[in-house]
Copies of this chain bind each other. A is one copy, B any other.
Amino acid sequence: MSAPNSRQLVAGMVGGGPGADIGKTHRYAMRLDGHYDLRAGSFGRDRSNSRQVAVELGVAADRNYADVAEMAAAEAAREDGVDVVVIATPNDSHFQLAKAFLDKGISVVCEKPLTQDSATAAELVRVADQNHAILAVPHCYSAYAMVRQAARMVRKGELGAIRFVDVEHASGWAATPLEELGHKQAGWRTNPDIAGFPSVVGDLGTHAFHLLRYITGLEAERLSGRLQTFVPNRRVFDNATVELELTGNVPARLWASMAATGHNHGLRIRVYGEKGSLEWLHEDPHHLKVQDLAGATTILTHGLSTLHDDASRLTRVGLGHPEGFLEAFANFYSDLAESLRARRDSTPLPERDLSFPTGIDGLVGVQFVEAVAASHNDDSAWKVPAFALEKAVA
Contacts and interface: CB of A to CB of B under 8 A. Distances in A.
Nearest to A175: B293
Contacts of A34: 27, 31, 57
Contacts of A284: 284, 322
Contact of A259 (B28, B56, B163, B320): B163
A163 B261 contact: yes
A57 B8 CA distance: 10
Q: How many copies does the complex hold?
A: 4
* Shortest Cβ-Cβ A-B pairs, 6 listed: A262-B291, A265-B320, A264-B320, A322-B324, A297-B299, A321-B325
Nearest to A242: B243
A276 to B, nearest CB: 6
The interface centre, meaning the residue of A7, A33, A226, A263 with most chain B CB atoms within 10 A of its CB, is: A263
Nearest to A245: B226
A107 B265 CA distance: 40
Given A277-B261, A318-B173, A163 B253 contact: no
A30 B15 CA distance: 25
A90 interface: no
Given A274-B261, A382-B380, A301 B296 contact: yes
Nearest to A58: B8
A132 interface: no
6 contacts: A7-B56, A243-B380, A259-B272, A296-B298, A296-B306, A324-B327
A230 B380 CA distance: 24
Contact of A295 (B230, B255, B264): B264
Interface stretch (A164-172, A346-354, A358-366): A164-172
A255 B317 CA distance: 23
A300 to B, nearest CB: 6
Contact of A263 (B290, B295, B325, B382): B295
B266 A320 contact: yes
Nearest to A298: B298
Interface of A: 7-8, 21, 24-25, 27-28, 31-34, 56-58, 159, 163-164, 166, 171-173, 175-176, 224, 226, 228, 230, 239, 241, 243, 251, 253, 255, 257, 259-266, 272-277, 282-286, 290-301, 303-306, 316-327, 379-380, 382
Which secondary structure dominates chain A's binding surface?
A: loop
Contacts of A286: 283, 324
A323 to B, nearest CB: 5
A260 B324 contact: no
Contact of A317 (B21, B316, B323): B21
A273 B290 CA distance: 24
Nearest to A297: B299
Contacts of A8: 58
Contacts of A296: 298-301, 304, 306
Given A28-B316, A261-B277, A295-B319, A226 B241 contact: no
A56 B241 CA distance: 48
A294 B306 contact: yes
A374 to B, nearest CB: 16
